[in-house]
Structures are given as C-alpha cells and as structure tokens.
Structure 1
Amino acid sequence: MLNRYPLWKYLMVAFVVIIGTLYSAPNLYGEDPALQVSAIRGHDVKVDTLDTVKKSLDTAKISIKSAVLENNQILVRFNNTDDQLQARELVTQALGDKFITALNLAPATPEWLTSIGASPLKLGLDLRGGVHFLMEVDMDEAINKAQEQLVQDFRTSLREDGIRYAGVRRAAGDVVVAFRDSDTQQKGLAHLRKRHIDLTLTDYEDKGQFWVKASMSEAKQKSVTEDALEQNITIIRNRVNELGVAEPLVQRQGTARIVVELPGIQDTARAKEILGATATLEFRLVDENADAAAAMNGQVPPNSELFYDRNGRPVVLQKRIILTGDHITGSSSSADEYGRPQVSIKLDGVGGNRMSTATKDSIGKAMASVFIEYKPVGEPGADGKRRIEKHEEVINVATIQSRLGSDFRITGIDTTQEAHNLSLLLRSGALTAPIQIVEERTIGPSMGQANIDSGLSALGMGTLILVIFMAIYYKLFGVVANIALMFNVVLMIGVMSMIPGATMTLPGIAGIVLTLGMAVDANVLIYERIREELRAGRGVQQAIHLGYERAFATIADSNITTFITALILFAVGTGPVRGFALVLMIGILCSMFTAITGSRAIVNLIWGGRKVKDLSI
C-alpha cells in the first residue's frame, strides 16, 4: 500500500527524535556560578579541605547550593555571581597558597540526565567566554640547552670512539674541547666534523693546551629556535588536550610567541600552571663518596653538584647526566603493590640504550631522579616579562637493582595527584625552552551572552519567517514541514551535545541558520513535485509517493556536494571555520533525515492509505 511505513520505521523515527530530545535537554537548565578548588603540585584536596571551605562560607553567611569533593577537586555551587565572587576571596584566604581557587560555571543538568551521559552543548570563546593567553618562548635558554646537549654529545661520542680528551665545556657562547697533544686534537677535530657537519669547528693552541672550538652558525641558531617554537606549540597542544578543553586555539605569532585561547576553561589557574610550567626529569648517579654536610658548606667535589630533596635534605649528585626528559615517550601514574603512588616511564630507543649503558656497571649504586621546573616569579618588569626561576628538586633516590632499559618506574612521590600532574607534564613532553605568559585576557560571560543573544535573535527571526511562509504557502503540508524543522534543530543540538570536543561558536549559529534554509528547501522541492503530479492528473496517494521519490535525487545531489565542501573546510580550516563546517555537516545529515524520512512519516500518518480527494498543499 502506498504511503505507509512499516512499524519498525515509525519506531526508528520516534527513537531518533526521543534520543535527540533527551540529549539536547541539558541545554535548557543553564549553569550555576561555582568555585573550583584544586591543589598545586605536592598537595592533595581532602575532606578537611572541604570542611574548611564550608566553615569559611558559613562564617560569612554565604549560602551555597551544594559543595562536593570529586576527583581530588572541590566544586561549590552558588545562587548568584555576587556570592561567587565574595566566596572566592574568602576561600583563597582560608586555604592559603597550597590550593588554587578558580571561578567556574557548572552545568545545572539534573542527575538523571547526567547518568545517561547527557551534557550541555560546549560553547566557544566568543559565546562562552574564556581565557586568551599570549606566551613567549625564551629563545636564549633554547640556545643554552642546545649547547648543553652538545657538551653531552661531544663527551659521549669522543668516549665511544676512544679519543681521550682533557675536558669539554661551554665558553663565551661556544663549546670547547681540550686535548693533551696535537695528534689527539686532530683526531678529535676529524671525528667531530664527521659527526656534526652543521657546526663551525676550529682548532687552536693556547698556553700549551690544544683546543677545538665548536660554534653555532646563524643558520644553526635559527634552526634551533624554530624547532623550539614548533616543539613548544606541539607540546602546548598536547597539554591543552590533557586539560580537556574543547576547540582550543593554539597558533604561532611572530618568531617567538604563541597564542592560546581556551573557551570555557573551568580552572584558569590550573591551566596557567600546566601550560606555563617547563618540567622535565634528569637522572644522575649519587656521589656516594661526597660528604653532604661539607657540600652544604661549599666543599662540593669538582665533578658533582649539590641538590636538595623536598624535605630540605642535601643530596650530592654527579654532574654527568645519564638521561634527560627529552627521551621520554610516555608516562603514566599508578600505585605500586603497597598502594604508594608511582610514575611509569617509557623511553625512546636512544634513551633506552643510554639508560642501559649507564646502569649496567652501576648495579648496587644509588640513582636520583631530579625534577626540574621553570616558573615565572615576581612582578612583571618594564618589558612586561617576569623573571624565570629554575626550581630543582630530588624526588627519588633508589638503588639500581638491575640493568634498566626503556621501561622503568620512579617512586617516592607523596600524593596520587602529584603523580598524575608529573605524568601529565612528562607525557605531554618537556618544553624545549621556558615559556611565560606575557599577556592574559579574560573574555567575560557577559560579552559571550551578548553574542549568544544576537545569534539566537538572528536564528529566531529567520525561523519565524520560514515558519510563517511555509504555513501560508503550503497550508497543512507547510505545518508538517515546520514540525520537521523544529525536530531538525533539536537533533542538531542533541548530536552536537553528544560529540566529545564539538563546540558551538558564533559561526556555528550561522551554520544552523544556513542548515534550516537547506532543510526547508528540501521540503519545497518535495511539495512542488507533489503539486506537479497533482496537476498531471495523478491520484493523491500516487502524487505524494512520486513527489517524495522523484525529488530525492535532486535533494541528495545538492546536500552531498555541500557536505563535501563542509568536509574540506573542516579538514583544512582552523578555529571558527572548523566550528562552522562541523555544524554544517551535522545539519545536513539531520536535515536529510527530518526533511525526507521524518516529514514523510508524519505525512504517512495523516494521509497514508486513506481515500483523500484533496490535499491541503
């Protein structure tokens, strides 16, 4: 029988509509002003921390909607932004500098929706508000690190080739190697020229000692700084991904700066800590012959350095670095068999070989893991920059029980959260050079709300005009098209809410408006085809059937070509362009379903299989 769907198809349409409605529903509940409390590295958020927060707010008679401790963070919800802002100052004072208190907007989604994974649509920086960072890479430190690496490489390669040298060190921006005689000097020069063709190498004699000087050319220095910038951009992208920010923008600006935009960031202070921290590890052998007390008084052996652990205890380590964090390819936090936090580390092939070579003759000796972090401190100077401070801390000293390779673990970490943060930084990669935030702008929710209001106003006006036109021009069939149009919007929002990482921006709202026009266009093609069939003398049922069937090819062609264009935009575009393309692709798929399958299901329910003399079209 014409124009009758089988039961399964009606159930399918109903199922899709119900699921789309459920997953778009969280967008109706809005958000609560909230505070998010998290701990800095080395500390933990506990139940007594939550008690302190509640007590400080009760004392000030600030009412709260809820306060919960989850995932090592405290989330406190308020009734209005005035209470939120006042509470932030009180909580910050009550907890001190061991915790980070950040402003937040927490979704007010009911628990029954959250239990099925439904969440509000993520909004971009232009709608949600968020943070804009301008970060600058310390290129001088990038050059210094490259030269330090050359010192290590020279020592290793000369030793492996059996060439005896008196010393390798940095001097006035160059790396110099001392030899005891001219023959060894020439062997060393030939060896280094073969291994390092991108360096300028010269030999000379000074005060009876024979030297080889290695200098970086301008091209080499430019290559180092370019690599540092590109690597830092990649690593910052990885760190942003670890923070779970949807649709972030990370891009280069000039020769030494990086722009980072984090829409709807939930913990601004934590973002700054993670993005700005330059963290890595160094593995060194402990100088077991040194006297730590004497070292504290300045009597440090020439081939050793004095460090301290987190409890302030001195540890004397050899200057020779077994391995740096540059060779770390992966890390994860877990607990050992006794429940103590630990970090498992994976090395690349070169790192694994170096670790194996260094530890095969050091079984029974102590090896230390040194955590190194660069952080901006103090107030910005006249140039807008803050002083970069290097913080070094021995986090673990362990006896080497067996020869180590590409996989091993470090312990001695105080808390699970600290292990997680350390793992995150190492997994994201060690920044080639320190980086600091030279500019920070917060785009407030009020500006975002103004954009939302403008976008919704445009969407509402466009939709209203379409609805009125369809109802007047196509009568009852126009009402059917309008119902399908409304379901199309619901489905789009539901799908966007379900996709991890999908973000709605102002161009995305433009994509919705465009999609609504295309959805109505599909119905117009179908209805005009039905009219043609009726004018040709077809029966009502046959006209409806042929109208949908013969218009399908035209609708599919136009939508497929538009979909391919949107797919290309999504593949090559960035930021708002990708957001627009994603909304357009989702909108095309949803409109194809609602305009063809959905509207026909309604038409079939009303007119299908019945004797109808005239159509309201």
Structure 2
Amino acid sequence: MLEFPRWKYILILVVVLISGLYALPNIYPKDPSVQITASRGAAIDDALRVKVETTLKAAGITPKSVAVEDGNLLARLPALDVQTKAAEALRPVLGENYVVALNLATTVPSWLENLFARPMLLGLDLQGGVHFLLQVDQKAALDKRLDAYADDVRVALREAHVGYESVERSGDNSVRVALAPGADVTKAREAIAKTLPTLQMTVEGGALIARVPDTELNQIVLNAIEQNVGTLRNRINELGVAEPIIQRQGTDRVVVQLPGVQDTAQAKRIIGATATLEYRAVADGNAFDAVSTGKVPPDARVFYRKEVGPDGKPFPILLSKRVIATGEQLVDAKSIIDPQSGTPAVSVTLNGPGGQRMFDFTSQNVGKQMAVVYIERIPEVKIIDGKEVRTTRTVEQVINAATIQGVFGKNFQTTGLESAQFAADLALQLRAGSLAAPMDFVEERVVGPSLGKENVERGTTAVMYSFLFALAFFLIYYRMFGLITCLALLLNLLMVIAVMSVFGATMTLPGFAGLALSVGMSVDANVLINERIREELRAGVPPKTAIATGYDKASGTIFDSNMTALLAGIALFAFGTGPLKGFAITMIVGILTSVFTAVTVSRALATLLYGRRKKLKTLAI
C-alpha cells in the first residue's frame, strides 16, 4: 500500500543537488571595486596596472588586489567608503581613453561561474547599487534642432526652385536666409511656411529671418529631456538590468540607479554615450585645398577620416551639409561580420521616411560616393585653479566612404568599424535610440539599500523568525511528521533561491513578503496532509494505509488551492509594476516549489521511514 517509485527518489536527489549548487553563489559577498575599461584603442596591460597601483598608493588607498578580469582592470577595495576616493584619484591620471567606474565585483569561485551559477539579483531596496546623476545639455538640444531647421529650409527652397546664397543659423535662435539676387521673397516665405509653419519670418537687412518662438524653444528642451529618459530606459533594458530607477530631477537632470550592476563601466559607457551615425553625400571639390585656403563650397563641410597620413594627421574630406539619414531614423541595428571583407559591421534598418530618402538618394547617385559619419561626445575632466571642471568634446569622424554600387533603401550595412566590441556598442546605442541632447555625468556613487540597512535587516529577520516559528510548531505538534514537514520546507526555501538565481529574477523587500506567503502556503499544504492522516487513523485505518490515503486525498485539495493563488500571482506580475512584480515573482516560484515539496518530497520521506516496516502499529503524528 505504501510505495514510492524509485525514479522519483532519483529525481528528488537530483533536484536537491542542483538546488544546492545553484543557491551556493548567494553565500559569497561582493567586493567594492573600481573598474577600468579601455576605450578608443587604449590598452589594458601591466603598465596600466602599475600606474593604477601607484596612484592608489599615493592617495593612501591599499587595494585588496589589482588585476585584469574579463578584459578589464579591476581594483578590489576593502570597503565602500574608499571607492569614490579611489575613482576620483584615478580619473585625472588615466584620462579620457579609459572609463573609470564604480563596481561591486563578484567573489563567486570560477568553477561555479563556469557552471553558470550566479548570485540572486537583489533590488535597490535590499542591496543598493550604482547611482548616476546626469545633466542634459540644453544648448546642444537647441543647436541640434536649429541645425535641422536650417536643413529643412534648404530643402524647402530647393523644392520650390527659389535661389539662395546661404542658409545659416543666427545667434538669436533663428535661421538667416540670404536669397539670390532677383529671388522672389514672397515665394520663399510661402515655401518655408508650408514646411515649417511655426517659424516667425521677417525681412531684415535684405535677408529672410526665420525665428523660432520662445514657446517652441521651451518645448524643444522639454521634449529633449523626455526623449533622453525614454532612450535611457531602452538602453538599460538592452543591458538587462533588473528593476532600474530612471527619473527626472529638476528641469535639466536625470537620476539613474542600477541595482547590483556587474559591469558599471559598460553601463556608464552605454548610458552616457551620444554616439550616432549620419549618412552624407561626398561633395565635389578638393578637401586639401579647402582646408589650406579656407574656401569651402557653400553646401559642403570639411570632415576628417579616421585614417591618418604620414604626418600623423587625419585626411580631410568634403561632405554635403544635407544629411540623408541619421541614427534617429533607425528601426533596428545588429552587429555582424561582413561576409565580403570579414570585418565587423552593423546591419542597419531604417524607418519608412528614412528608407525612402535613402532610396531616392541612391537611385539618383549610383556611381557616386556616400560617407558614414560617426559622431561622439566625449566627457573630459580638467583641473583649473585647483578645481575640477567638467567639459565635453565632440568628435565627428568619417568611418567609411564608399561608392554606391546599386540602389538600396531601408536595409543596408555600415562597414569600416574598428572592432567587434565597437560594432556591438554602436548597434546597441542605435537600437535603443539616440539621445536628443548630450548628457554629462555630474555625480556617480554607490548607494546603499534605499530602505536603510536597519530596515532590511529587520525584514530579513522577520522572514527568518516566521520560518523558524513554523518549524518549531511542526516539530512539537506533529513530531516525526513534523520533522518531515521541516525538511520539506527547508528544501522549498533552497529551491526558491536556486530558481531565482538561475533565471536572474530580482529579490526585493516585497519579494520577502511573497516568500513568507509561499512558505505559509506550503505549511497549509502539509497541515492538510497531516490532518488527513490523523482522520484516517481515528477511523481505525492501519498506519500505512492512513499515510497513503492521507496523501492521495489531500493532494487534490492542495492542487486546487495553490492553482487559484498561482493565477492571482500571475495577474499581479502581468499587470503590476515595481514592488508588486517583486512580490509576484517570489510568490509564483514559491507556490510551484511548495507543491512539489509538500506532495512529492514529504511523501518520499514518509515512505522511506515507514514503508519497509512490517509491523507498524502507531505513527508519531
């Protein structure tokens, strides 16, 4: 009567071993550290390691270790309070070719990492994380928009067949149009008004002035900040950071908090990157002559290629002022290896308007050249009069200029990239969207748990004591079957930790509440089983039959009650946000594991203890 298949014992043993293995990384604490990542062709080598060690020693900091880990230089520090001091000491020394970022480095042994065992992610309320404060460059947002207005004015005048000598931005947030002699001013105004109806136009000094209203200027700034917040969300989602906090602060700042980030240098590089691409036609003319004489064709600009000549200076190239397509028009971007050249590349997909403009341009310019301009805004820190001054430098570099061999539209490839990592980062930035305005890092620090260390400890203690009280009650009230229940509950807790660690779920303080609830539901299931066995014994049923009948009859009720709770948890996860999701995740995982441990594991233990006894007259229950 009291039997249990051998294969189920093997299954339980495998589950216990796997759960223990994948829950093990959670016992290893993280080291506060400073991570140094190379950029723009810099090297991570012994010379850099010695420089870092010397700089830290001069600052009075003794690191645990300074070593290359996963291609980055990692300085592990003894405490959080020296982390910021170490980063501030290293940044001026290492310069702009290295990204210096705060980090919490794992101490999990490599053999566990090779098995893809990693610690459970903890939310900001439990673990803390990295805090960035970024300031949006409002002037750059306006400049970018006014440049777009100037380009739209040129297009409108060309399509209306109105001659002009120049279309340039003015210093008072306006676009100045110098019309050609004999050009129809009224026709020009009508053409511009049709394309840009919000601009206020006047004639001053023989030139047509298209001025942007103050209300629209304010809206441009607000839209830029909102777009940046949305873009940051997309970029952080691409990085796979769970439960981030991204919100506006004041009129021009954005707060970003990332819980438990493993590679903060990568996060910092992606968050603050303003890199994008522009596709422009190669203009007619000699670029060297234009640079030496200063005479540049009115519809062209001088750019510089990434290749350098014998004198160490990059080659100049003349490109059209008109932009064919930009990163803002990209729908998708993927890093690939170009099958023809075998070099890193980015496969680009434009949206409808961008694809149409590219199709129109390539249709009319087969055999001519088109260039790809890579634009990056680089933050710099300078010491002026003993004070740290943050500035930025914009780099515009032609990474590729090739002859158009055929007509193409929204799908094509951008080649000529320097490395696979550069291609991957560029694809991520383009895929997540370009920033409407550059942002500078004003502040960077590691933050503690948002609820405070004392509250976190109290929450952890409350869950632990509730668990211990349940175990004590079962041991006293159900005796031997209480011991069986306690073992099942402990395995349930181990399985929850292992499952959340494997799938990268985030444990938050509300998640602790969900865990406590799932433990309580597991207790309910075991109570149902034990009380059902008691009823059978009171009815005079033999002990072995009572155990088998108790489990059989209680299992259906347990499945039904847990299924309704599971549906509630799925609804919370699907429609809830923030703390509700954290609660729902642990609740769902806890319910699934509790059903397994209450129905299967506890029955296996009971069968193992009582199944082979020939003369069983009483049960300790």
TM range (shorter): 0.7 to 0.9
Partner of 1:429: 433
Amino acid at match of 2:600: T
Q: 2 CA distance for matches of 1:103 and 1:137?
A: 22
CA distance change for structure 1 residues 151 and 93 in 2, over 3 Å: closer, same or farther? closer
CA distance change for structure 1 residues 362 and 487 in 2, over 3 Å: closer, same or farther? same
Amino acid at match of 2:573: F
Report deviation, 1:239.
Answer: 2.0
Q: 2 CA distance for matches of 1:556 and 1:48?
A: 63
Partner of 2:528: 525
Q: Indicate if the aligned counterparts of 2:135 and 2:439 stay in contact, CA closer than 8 A.
A: yes
Report deviation, 1:56.
Answer: 9.6
1:602 and 2:605 correspond: yes
Q: 2 CA distance for matches of 1:84 and 1:166?
A: 57
Deviates more, 1:291-300 or 1:473-482: 291-300
1:613 and 2:617 correspond: yes
Partner of 1:130: 129
1:316 to 292, 313, 318: 318
How large is the RMSD of aligned CA atoms in angstroms? 4.2
2:585 to 579, 582, 586: 582
Q: Partner of 2:275: helix, strand, or coil?
A: strand
Report deviation, 1:480.
Answer: 0.5
* Pairing 1:226-305 to 2, within 5 Å after superposition: 227-253=223-249, 256-292=252-288, 294-295=290-291, 298-305=294-301
- Consecutive unaligned residues of structure 1, counting only runs of 5 or more, are none
* Pairing 1:403-414 to 2, within 5 Å after superposition: 403=406, 404-414=408-418
Amino acid at match of 2:473: F
Q: Indicate if the aligned counterparts of 1:507 and 1:576 stay in contact, CA closer than 8 A.
A: yes
Partner of 1:142: 141
Q: Indicate if the aligned counterparts of 2:162 and 2:183 stay in contact, CA closer than 8 A.
A: no
Deviates more, 1:358-367 or 1:277-286: 358-367
Report deviation, 1:484.
Answer: 0.3
Report deviation, 1:46.
Answer: 5.7
Report deviation, 1:519.
Answer: 1.5
CA distance change for structure 1 residues 78 and 447 in 2, over 3 Å: closer, same or farther? farther
Q: 1 CA distance for matches of 2:87 and 2:132?
A: 22
1:492 and 2:496 correspond: yes
CA distance change for structure 1 residues 295 and 301 in 2, over 3 Å: closer, same or farther? farther
Partner of 2:463: 459
Report deviation, 1:431.
Answer: 0.6
Q: Partner of 1:25: helix, strand, or coil?
A: helix
Report deviation, 1:509.
Answer: 2.7
Q: 1 CA distance for matches of 2:93 and 2:388?
A: 30
Q: Indicate if the aligned counterparts of 1:248 and 1:575 stay in contact, CA closer than 8 A.
A: no
Amino acid at match of 2:610: W
TM-score by length of 2: 0.83
CA distance change for structure 1 residues 207 and 433 in 2, over 3 Å: closer, same or farther? closer
Partner of 2:402: 399
Report deviation, 1:28.
Answer: 3.1
Partner of 1:17: 16
Report deviation, 1:590.
Answer: 1.1
Q: 1 CA distance for matches of 2:517 and 2:213?
A: 56
Q: 1 CA distance for matches of 2:495 and 2:539?
A: 36
Q: Indicate if the aligned counterparts of 1:287 and 1:317 stay in contact, CA closer than 8 A.
A: yes
CA distance change for structure 1 residues 223 and 564 in 2, over 3 Å: closer, same or farther? farther
Q: 1 CA distance for matches of 2:617 and 2:532?
A: 18
* Pairing 1:27-106 to 2, within 5 Å after superposition: 27-31=26-30, 36-45=35-44, 67-68=67-68, 70=70, 72-75=71-74, 97-106=96-105
Q: 2 CA distance for matches of 1:48 and 1:223?
A: 50
Report deviation, 1:539.
Answer: 3.5
Deviates more, 1:460-469 or 1:414-423: 414-423
- Consecutive unaligned residues of structure 2, counting only runs of 5 or more, are none
Q: 1 CA distance for matches of 2:451 and 2:205?
A: 70
Partner of 1:506: 509
* Percent of aligned positions that are identical: 43
Partner of 2:6: 7
CA distance change for structure 1 residues 612 and 227 in 2, over 3 Å: closer, same or farther? farther
Listed one character per residue, the Cα deviations across residues 113-151 of structure 1 (whole Å, up to 9, x for unaligned) are 333221222222333332122334344543443343333
Q: Indicate if the aligned counterparts of 1:42 and 1:418 stay in contact, CA closer than 8 A.
A: no
Q: Partner of 1:511: helix, strand, or coil?
A: helix
Q: 2 CA distance for matches of 1:126 and 1:18?
A: 31
Listed one character per residue, the Cα deviations across residues 411-439 of structure 1 (whole Å, up to 9, x for unaligned) are 44434433333333223221112223344
CA distance change for structure 1 residues 65 and 113 in 2, over 3 Å: closer, same or farther? same
Partner of 2:373: 370
Report deviation, 1:94.
Answer: 8.2
Report deviation, 1:176.
Answer: 6.3
Report deviation, 1:599.
Answer: 1.3
Q: 2 CA distance for matches of 1:84 and 1:134?
A: 17
Amino acid at match of 1:512: L
Deviates more, 1:166-175 or 1:563-572: 166-175
Q: 1 CA distance for matches of 2:211 and 2:604?
A: 78
Q: 2 CA distance for matches of 1:221 and 1:567?
A: 45
Amino acid at match of 1:483: L
Partner of 1:173: 173
Listed one character per residue, the Cα deviations across residues 445-489 of structure 1 (whole Å, up to 9, x for unaligned) are 999876665444333322222211110011111111100010011
Q: 2 CA distance for matches of 1:223 and 1:296?
A: 41
Report deviation, 1:598.
Answer: 1.6
Partner of 2:446: 442
Q: Partner of 2:246: helix, strand, or coil?
A: strand
Listed one character per residue, the Cα deviations across residues 492-547 of structure 1 (whole Å, up to 9, x for unaligned) are 011011003x1223332333233222211221222223223333444434433343
Partner of 1:571: 574
Q: Indicate if the aligned counterparts of 2:67 and 2:73 stay in contact, CA closer than 8 A.
A: yes
Listed one character per residue, the Cα deviations across residues 59-104 of structure 1 (whole Å, up to 9, x for unaligned) are 999897794553x334566898899999979987986653334454
Listed one character per residue, the Cα deviations across residues 543-593 of structure 1 (whole Å, up to 9, x for unaligned) are 333433443444344433333333333234333432222112111111121
CA distance change for structure 1 residues 100 and 375 in 2, over 3 Å: closer, same or farther? closer
Q: 1 CA distance for matches of 2:453 and 2:298?
A: 63
Q: Partner of 1:128: helix, strand, or coil?
A: coil
Amino acid at match of 2:335: S
CA distance change for structure 1 residues 230 and 562 in 2, over 3 Å: closer, same or farther? farther
1:479 and 2:483 correspond: yes
Deviates more, 1:445-454 or 1:579-588: 445-454
Q: 2 CA distance for matches of 1:272 and 1:388?
A: 17
